[in-house]
Amino acid sequence: MLVKWIRCTVVDRRGFERGQRKWAGLLGEPGFRGQGGGWSRKRPDVAHVFGFWESRAFYDSFMARSHDRLAAAQSGTYKDIHTHLFDHLFDVKTGFEPTFTEADVVRVAHCTVHAERAEHFTLMQQKVWNPAMAGSPGMVRGLFGEAAGNEFLVLSMWQSAAEHGKYQADRVERLSLRAQTDADVAAIAGDIVQLDPSWTV
């Protein structure tokens, strides 16, 4: 599965939201699995959208055919758009489905890892982080993805920001030490995204 993460700074919030609903046109596209997103809880002008495709081939075909027509509805409503594509490596918890039901927020962590530490980082994700997240109250589902250049995406869906906050306060520091995250990671950027149900396709 291919995971697409879009982050942009919005200059016309109402226009952007109106345009976001036009992405319902993705339904019926060959290989499309689901899309959702919302607003950053830290920066109210930043929007995040997460899309899921069966494969790169289906995604490339959509980009060549229908993308520009759907995207036109949001023209001029944002600046600074960043798009990243990741290959799904494994689930956080089990049975990841690209649906946004039961979740209120998404935690997105984008990690650039030292090349010689990429294998260790992936192993620690499986052995240390995954069991801790999967066992945390309020954690719904998630995935771990990889892109070229030793870039990784950890996407986790939570029932509420409070549940995620509790996990962060209680466990993250201890888990980081155990997983030697500081030694693995060259850079990390992340956000907490308040999901908007009207953006879900």
pLDDT in tens, 99-129: 998 999 999 999 999 999 999 999 999 999 9
DSSP-derived secondary structure for 158-179: ES-HHHHHHHIIIIIHHHHHHH
Confidence of residue 95 (pLDDT cuts 50, 70, 90): confident
Q: In the chain, pLDDT over 90 holds for what percent of residues?
A: 96
Domains of the chain (ranges; CATH) run 2-199 (3.30.70.100)
* 3-state DSSP assignment of residue 46: strand
Q: What does the pLDDT read at residue 184?
A: 97
Confidence of residue 140 (pLDDT cuts 50, 70, 90): very high
pLDDT in tens, 166-195: 999 989 999 999 999 999 999 999 999 999
Q: What does the pLDDT read at residue 59?
A: 98
User: How much of the chain is in helix, strand and coil states, percent to nearest 5?
Assistant: 40, 40, 20
**Alpha carbon distance 200, 51 (integer Å):** 10
Average pLDDT for 61-77:
96
pLDDT in tens, 10-56: 999 999 999 999 999 999 999 999 999 999 999 999 999 999 999 99
Q: Identify which of 42, 46, 38, 36 has the alpha carbon closest to the alpha carbon of residue 82.
A: 46
Q: What does the pLDDT read at residue 37?
A: 98
Average pLDDT for 60-88:
96
Assess whether pLDDT exceeds 90 at residue 94. no
